Amino acid sequence: MILCKELTRLLSGLVLILTLAVSCTDRTTIIKSLAGVAVGGEVYIWRCGVCDPFNNPSGDMRFASRTEGDSAKVTFIRLNGLSHSVFTDDSSSFSRVLDEGAYIIVVETGWTEPDTFHNVYLKNDTTIRLNLVFDYLHPVYLGISFFYPDGDSLGAEAEWDYIRLLNGFLSAKLAISGYDPPEDLLALRAVGQVWENAIYCNWRISIRCPPYHIGEVLRQVGDILQRYPDQFPLHFDVNQYYAYICKF
């Protein structure tokens, strides 16, 4: 009698488990990891080229040391599309425990376009060093310049109107406000002579970062100036504020 009761309880449990398994088959897939791989590493960033000694005289190329303490976002992407992200700490290091397998690693920063490392297979605990190259020497500042070949400047107020017009086309991605140029930006406005009477006037303008990326803003500016050339002066130019020879 006792045996029959135990057998009945066991069969009931099996029926319950089977029912749950069948009812969830269409919606739920459970993957049990057989092994976890501890992944750690550091992110480094270089000017002009990885391990370029001429343009990188400093010995510390860690990302945080070269970028005013910023973090980089490191994302591990499986071939099935699942992803895991981690941010570097103040030593430019990161760590994560992942399933064994093949990954794509994507590194995102405000100083670079997204960098992708393909065909990374994680089998054992490992340390990875990720090397980036600067695309932008500052993630916030744009340089907006007006060039006057004959030296006849429009003046700061008129230049500011064109900057505000550009911001309208950009849907307010520039971190500016006011009908008149602010005193702090006027103080940073650089005026210089190129040759004879030719002069330039440069402005340092911040973008709203976050949420916008400097690369995204620069590409949009290029499209605007190409589409609406008659809306801006002939010698009107927008670039990253801190440009350097390796980018040209």
Model confidence pLDDT, tens digit, residues 1-35 = 443 444 344 334 433 332 223 333 445 444 444 56
Same domain flag for 85 and 166: no
Query: Do the domain assignments include residue 11?
Result: no
Q: What is the CATH number of the domain that holds 155?
A: 3.30.70
Domain end position, chosen among 82, 104, 133: 133
Alpha carbon distances (Å) from 50 to 43, 53, 133, 136, 182: 12, 9, 7, 15, 40
Same domain flag for 146 and 240: yes
For residue 161, the Cα-to-chain-centroid distance in whole angstroms is 30
37 DSSP β-pair partners: 98
DSSP 114: P
Question: What is the rounded CA–CA span in Å between residue 110 and residue 228?
Answer: 28
pTM of the prediction? 0.79
Domain end position, chosen among 73, 99, 133: 133
Model confidence pLDDT, tens digit, residues 56-113 = 987 899 999 999 899 999 999 998 889 999 999 999 999 999 999 999 999 999 999 9
Sheet of 36-46, strands arranged across: 93-99, 36-46, 126-133
Contact in structure between 169 and 241 (CB atoms under 8 Å): no
pLDDT attached to residue 141: 96
pLDDT attached to residue 246: 81
Looking at beta carbons, which pairs linking 218-226 to residues 24 or more positions away fall under 8 Å? 218/142, 220/170, 220/173, 221/142, 221/166, 221/170, 224/166, 224/169, 224/170
Same domain flag for 116 and 154: no
Query: Do the domain assignments include residue 223?
Result: yes
Nearest residue to 101 (alpha-carbon basis) of 41, 40, 36: 36
pLDDT attached to residue 195: 86
Same domain flag for 156 and 128: no
Same domain flag for 146 and 239: yes
| Total number of domains constituting the chain | 2
Same domain flag for 84 and 153: no
Query: Do the domain assignments include residue 101?
Result: yes
pLDDT attached to residue 14: 35
Same domain flag for 128 and 159: no
Same domain flag for 86 and 183: no
Length of the chain: 248
Same domain flag for 153 and 121: no
Model confidence pLDDT, tens digit, residues 168-217 = 999 999 999 999 999 999 999 999 998 888 999 999 999 999 999 999 99
Both structure tokens of 63: 């990302």
Model confidence pLDDT, tens digit, residues 142-178 = 999 999 999 899 999 999 999 999 999 999 999 999 9
Query: Do the domain assignments include residue 115?
Result: yes
Q: What is the CATH number of the domain that holds 125?
A: 2.60.40.1120
pLDDT attached to residue 8: 41
Per-residue pLDDT, averaged over 123-129, amounts to 94
Nearest residue to 45 (alpha-carbon basis) of 91, 111, 114: 111
Query: Do the domain assignments include residue 30?
Result: no
Query: Do the domain assignments include residue 60?
Result: yes
pLDDT attached to residue 34: 57
Count of CB atoms within 10 A of residue 232's CB? 18
Query: Do the domain assignments include residue 120?
Result: yes
pLDDT attached to residue 15: 35
Same domain flag for 93 and 161: no
Strand segments (E) across 47-182: 73-78, 83-87, 93-99, 101-108, 115-122, 126-133, 141-148
Same domain flag for 101 and 164: no
Domain end position, chosen among 89, 117, 133: 133
DSSP 50: T
Burial class (CB in 10 A: 0-12, 13-18, 19+), 19: exposed
Question: What is the rounded CA–CA span in Å between residue 190 and residue 146?
Answer: 10
pLDDT attached to residue 86: 97
Range of the domain at 95: 36-133
Query: Do the domain assignments include residue 177?
Result: yes
Same domain flag for 145 and 108: no
